[in-house]
Amino acid sequence: MKIALGADHGGFALKEIIKSHLEKKGFEILDKGTYSTESVDYPTYGKAVAKSILEKEADFGILICGTGIGISISANRFKGIRAALCSNTTMAKLTREHNDANILALGARMTGDILALEIVDEFLRTKFEGGRHSTRIEAIEL
């Protein structure tokens, strides 16, 4: 499975931790930046990861900024993207089961590293339930 990662300067350190964690688990990583803590604009990375999903370069995406809010809004501007900002594992599980989220957003200043890794693992191991949830996903796309 290929995961596209993107972060602004506020999420850079957590992106690197997640990248290492996922590589150790055998995931293929598509790192869309940023590559340092130098100040950058989060929409650039939200868009890059969203496009990676839509163009089928990656199966899922993970986006990180200081709060996770701005970068998730940037990604959600694209039809077919369902980026979910999650602050705990229950949210990660339910957004995959019920919303078929294809991008996980995290706030590096809001979520500790250990919890962030637990959220990532839960998001990636959980499958979409389909059924009644599929109708709701279709309604989002209208």
Active site residues: 65, 98
The number of residues making up the chain comes to 142
Helix (H) or strand (E) holding 115: helix 113-125
Tell me phi and psi for residue 30, to 5 degrees: -115, 100
112-135 burial, b at 16+ Cβ within 10 Å, e below that, comes to eeeebbebbebbbebebeeeeeee
